[in-house]
Structure 1
Amino acid sequence: MRLVVGVSGGSGIPYALSVLRALRELEVETHLIVTSGAKRVMTAEGGPQLADLTALARVTHDDRDLAASIASGSLRTDGMLIVPCSAGTLAKVAGGFADNLLARAAHVTLKERRRLVLVLREDPLSRPMLQNMLSAFDAGATVMTASPGFYHAPDTVEKLLHFVTARVLDQFGLDVPGFRRWKEAEA
Structure 2
Amino acid sequence: MPTPRTQDPAPGATSGRRLATDAERRALASVVRLRILRLCLYEALTNKEIADRLGRDPASVLHHVRTLLHLEFLRAETPRPGPRGSTEVPYRATGKSWELDFGTPDDDGSDPATTDTLLRTFLEEVAEVPRSQLQTTRMGLRLNAAHLEEFDQRMRQLMQEFLDRGPDDDGQPVSVFVAVHPEPLAR
TM-score calculated relative to the size of structure 1: 0.25
Choose between structure 1 and 2: higher strand proportion. 1
Which structure: larger Rg?
2
- TM-score scaled to structure 2, two decimals? 0.25
